[in-house]
Amino acid sequence: MSDNKSGFEIRADLLSQAQGIIELNIEREINAVHAHNENNPNDKQPLPVTKVTAADIIATARELNAFVIER
């Protein structure tokens, strides 16, 4: 089996990785607020409301691609 990926497959992988990075960062933010609120009941912070857009995912994928093609 060939290890070569088509441009489409590479872009799909980058989009998937970008989405994963964004979602993990949001999860970390939420966990940090939960931890803060548990340890500081008199200084509770609201949970962040974050909307992930296709544009956000594409921008992150482009950052990843820029790193990949860097010489």
Neighbours of 21 (CB within 10 A): 15
3-class DSSP state of 48: coil
Per-residue pLDDT band for 3 (boundaries 50, 70, 90) equals confident
Tokens at residue 27, please?
């999860």
- Ordered by start, the domain boundaries in the chain are 7-69
What distance in Å separates the CA atoms of residue 65 and residue 15, rounded to the nearest whole number?
10
Q: Does residue 1 carry a pLDDT above 70?
A: no
Confidence of residue 69 (pLDDT cuts 50, 70, 90): confident
